Amino acid sequence: MDKFWNNNLEIKNELDEVIKIMEKRIKNSNRSIRNILLDMIRNSGKMLRPAFVILSGKFGEYDRKRILPLAAAVEMLHMATLVHDDIIDNALIRRSKPTIQAEYGKNYAVFIGDFLFSECFLLLSDNITIENLKKVSKVVSRICKGEIGQFESRYNIDITINDYLKRIAAKTAALFALSFYVGAYESNCGEKLAKILGSIGYNIGMAFQIIDDVLDYTGEENVVGKPLCNDIRQGVFTLPLIYSLEKNKDEKMIALLKKESYCEEDIKRIVEFVQENGGVDRSKMLAEKYTKKAFDKISMLKDSPPKQILIEVTSKLLYRNY
């Protein structure tokens, strides 16, 4: 597993169990599905979503037999969306390894994603209330709408900050919020506390995606684990660029962006434009604002070990470089 949880052994150990649950789920599938997915599971990233299900569960009557399968289901759902996203983005590398679509082809990627969806729902139907299962379905539907929206607004220089925020709320923050909410609710935290935790998840998710989009402009390729400037190459205009265009409607830059296909020299010019016009800095400030909102809600929680972990993680996510 990723080094992200090395300082929180309690969470790390639970996440190791989540990995075992996922491995067990795919044990009986075709050999090729099994091998592909075992690779993917063993190369899992920070596993934030399942960690948040667990962490949130610890605010209530934590029952690992119930919570860990839920955490596994949420991670499988996330994996499904990654596998399918990589098809759309034509992504070759993720977490420093070839993507499924790059290594095995789009055909495998389609069915591996579907298989993960079905296994997610199978795990859920054994371990969740029907109301929350409905919430999960709604989030999947939102993620799809968000991804289609993103795909459709490629090369659209009229995209607003509001459009962007709506898009990342759907494609990222909704699942973060759900992870927190479900972990809490299914641990009998009660609706009120579950909603507060869900809202913390939402704000962390918004900050997380903004930082991700910033790292696509400013990160180091070998640290981030995937090629930089991937969004812009696909025609996806994210916050740093949107802010920069808002500040400076440079005609040459707009003409360049309208070309709808960029060479390396174009990419370099776009990155420079974004840095010169403060797009990165303003984006970081907005991520900080969402993080602050998360902290405001966290401060409403009574002191406890999971609260302490939550504080550490929230701040670590804001100041990460991968």
Asked if 91 and 99 touch (Cβ cutoff 8 Å), the reply is yes
Ramachandran region, residue 2 (left: φ > 0; alpha: ψ -120 to 50; beta: rest): beta
Helix-strand-coil split of the chain, %, nearest 5: 75, 0, 25
* By the rule CB under 8 A, 140 interacts with a second copy: yes
Q: Per CB under 8 A, does 180 bind a second copy?
A: no
Binder among 11, 55, 76, 147 for a second copy (CB under 8 A): 147
3-state secondary structure of 93: strand
The reply to whether 118 sits near a second copy by the rule CB under 8 A is yes
Site string for a second copy, 73-112 (x = CB under 8 A): --------x--x--xx-----------------xxx-xxx
Residue (145 or 269) nearer to a second copy, CB: 145
Phi/psi zone of residue 94: left (φ > 0), alpha (ψ -120 to 50 degrees), beta?
beta
Is 320 among the residues that bind a second copy (CB under 8 A)? no
Residue tagged 């902290």 (tokens): 295
Q: How many of the other CB atoms lie within 10 Å of CB of 149?
A: 14
Using CB under 8 A, which of the segments 91-99, 147-155, 199-207, 209-217 binds a second copy? 147-155
Contact assessment for residue 70 and residue 127, using Cβ atoms and an 8 Å cutoff: yes
Q: From 27-35, 179-187, 207-215, 255-263, give the range in contact with a second copy by CB under 8 A.
A: 27-35
Binding mask 28-67 for a second copy (x = CB under 8 A): -xx-xx----------------------------------
CA distances from 36 to 92, 100, 111 (A): 15, 8, 12
In the complex, minimum distance from the CB of residue 47 to a second copy, in angstroms, rounded to a whole number? 22
Answer yes or no whether residue 155 interacts with a second copy by CB under 8 A.
Answer: no
- Tokens of residue 74, six digits: 């949420």
Could you tell me whether strands 97-98 and 93-94 are parallel, antiparallel, or unpaired per DSSP bridges? antiparallel
Does 130 bind a second copy (CB under 8 A)? Our answer is yes
Kindly tell me which of 166 and 320 has the beta carbon lying closer to a second copy. 166
* C-alpha to C-alpha distances, 260 to 127, 134, 249, nearest whole angstrom: 46, 39, 17
Size of residue set near a second copy by CB under 8 A? 41
172: DSSP letter: I
Written as six digits, the tokens of 291 are 């993080």
Q: Does 228 bind a second copy (CB under 8 A)?
A: no
Select the span of 3-11, 124-132, 159-167, 255-263 touching a second copy (CB under 8 A): 124-132
Q: Give the binding site for a second copy (CB under 8 A).
A: 29-30, 32-33, 81, 84, 87-88, 106-108, 110-115, 117-119, 121-122, 124-126, 130, 133-134, 136-138, 140-141, 143-145, 147-149, 151-152
